[in-house]
Structure 1
Amino acid sequence: MYARLFVVVFLSVWQVDAEYHTFQWQSCTTDTVHQALKVHSVAVNPTPVLTPGPLHISFTASVLKQIEAGAAIQFDITRHTALGADVHIPCVGDLGSCILDGCSVIDNMLNGTRQGQRDLGLQIKKMFESVGVFTHCPIAVQNITISNYKIDIAELDPALNFIADGDYTIKATVLHPSTGIQLGCFQFNITLKRKSTGGGWLLGRKRRSYKNAQ
């Protein structure tokens, strides 16, 4: 469940000058009565996110109410361009603006067809296990703290090239398994970049910013 909020950070990218020089995030939860997942703080380094290369993640979050099996995560991913147009990223092969089973994300990665996918899934699983968090639902009420955990990102598969380099807003909404009620929402801005290719300046960017919020 938590892992999928960060998996999208590792999506395929090409080289571009960074627009977001710091990781920017905010809570987008609108239903505080039913809120089950609350993010308190997040830090990601380096920015922009580079691939291949190491990524250091720190965050604190609270599970306020037990999250039941079948809970979904709805992703909405938007790329910002210099022309002022926001490009919606569609759902392709469970990547992009998809609605996914939040309780089976890690297992799906571990059983994936690509070695890089399996390696990433194993690293994220170990990250949560290192602080005593299980990645299967139901997820009990608890506080979660990850401090400067390093994940090594491999060179990404060419199959992910449908997502270009640039500046993105990524919104993840946790939904109740039977009612669809919002259980929590987390949104962040980030620049994604590949090390090995050039020419990304042609694509352009549009700045989006907001203050970090709990």
Structure 2
Amino acid sequence: MTGCRSHSGTENLYELAEKMSGSDLSVLKWKRSHENSGGALKKERRAAGTTLGRRLTVPHEDNLDTLQAHTLHSFLIFLLTFRAMEPISSQTSLLQTHLYVRGFSWSTCDDLPHPVTIESLSISPDPIHIPGDVTVAVVISTSIDLERPLMLNLTLEKKFLGAWIKIPCLDNLGSCTYDACDLLDTWFPVGQPCPEPLLTYGIPCHCPFIVGTSSLPSSVFYIPAIPLPSWLESGTYRVKGILSNAQGEVGCVHIHVTLA
């Protein structure tokens, strides 16, 4: 193979890549419609020996370099993944939006017991309309005192074509690590009493937290409209949250939810 040789199969793959990257998140529909049409594109792709989602194979007579084929294949798969989340870099503004939160579920992590444990948690209604009211009941216990530093690490993944795609941390959204005590100080001004119903039930809203159990009976909270980037405002997600102090991991929880 010479450096300047043209190859029709390779050109068709690049054309396919261009169509994918410029689609309006209809990659799968585009692929199916062209494969079912029985047209020239389907024949050319078969002639080139290519299939999406599987190992790229090339007829021997094409003499296409293996490294080049694998690189192009990886590029096509990258485009699928990239389009699944939409180009995050182009979504610079946050949208004030109405959301429906469906199918909320949670579980503790399947590993060693942690000193901080969610004993019970219920959230209703289903779906939750945001902005709107939500009813929460929760019981949390800790067998150790929790002091600074207290970090919360979130891993956020979005489901796409049966696979979970990790959402990177961007502008403090996604798979990020937060200072839990600083977050609480932001939500609840320091020096002021904790808001109701936390105050009534003696639940602290600032670090440190002492050994014991905090129980919040069913209580209604109003959730205002939440500004979210368009790439995050719909889909099925799972979140793993890990709480850690200076000695290591102290708590862990899994959450599943669908936004629409």
TM bucket normalised to smaller: 0.5 to 0.7
**Alpha-carbon distance in structure 1 between the residues aligned to 2:100 and 2:136:** 22
1:1-214 to 2 correspondence within 5 Å? 18=102, 20=103, 23-28=104-109, 30-32=111-113, 35-81=114-160, 83-109=161-187, 125-157=195-227, 159-176=228-245, 178-179=246-247, 181-193=248-260
- Alpha carbons of 1:16 and 1:86: their partners in 2 closer, same or farther (altered >3 Å)? farther
**Alpha-carbon distance in structure 2 between the residues aligned to 1:76 and 1:62:** 23
How far residue 151 of structure 1 moved from its aligned partner, in angstroms, is: 1.3
- Alpha carbons of 1:28 and 1:53: their partners in 2 closer, same or farther (altered >3 Å)? same
User: What SS does the corresponding residue of 2:186 show, helix, strand or coil?
Assistant: helix
The structure in which a higher percent of residues are helix is 2
Q: Deviations over 1:118-145 (max 9, x none)?
A: xxxx9x8534333212222221011111
How far residue 182 of structure 1 moved from its aligned partner, in angstroms, is: 1.0
What is the identity percentage for the equivalent residue pairs of Structure 1 and Structure 2?
Answer: 22
Residue identity matched to 2:175:
S
Q: TM-score, normalised by structure 1?
A: 0.66
Residue identity matched to 2:108:
S
Task: Give the number of aligned pairs.
Answer: 162
* Partners of 1:103 and 1:135 within 8 A in 2: no
How far residue 76 of structure 1 moved from its aligned partner, in angstroms, is: 0.9
How far residue 13 of structure 1 moved from its aligned partner, in angstroms, is: 6.9
| Deviation >4 Å, runs of 4+ | 12-18
Q: TM-score, normalised by structure 2?
A: 0.55
The answer for the alignment partner of 1:208 in structure 2 is none
**Alpha-carbon distance in structure 2 between the residues aligned to 1:164 and 1:42:** 24
- Structure number, greater radius of gyration: 2
- Alpha carbons of 1:49 and 1:182: their partners in 2 closer, same or farther (altered >3 Å)? same
After superposition, the CA RMSD in angstroms is: 2.6
List alignment gaps of at least 5 residues for structure 1. Answer: 1-11, 112-121, 194-214
* Partners of 2:100 and 2:127 within 8 A in 1: no
**Alpha-carbon distance in structure 2 between the residues aligned to 1:134 and 1:15:** 29
Q: Deviations over 1:28-60 (max 9, x none)?
A: 16343xx32111111111223321111111111
**Alpha-carbon distance in structure 2 between the residues aligned to 1:163 and 1:53:** 19
How far residue 171 of structure 1 moved from its aligned partner, in angstroms, is: 1.4
* Partners of 2:243 and 2:251 within 8 A in 1: yes
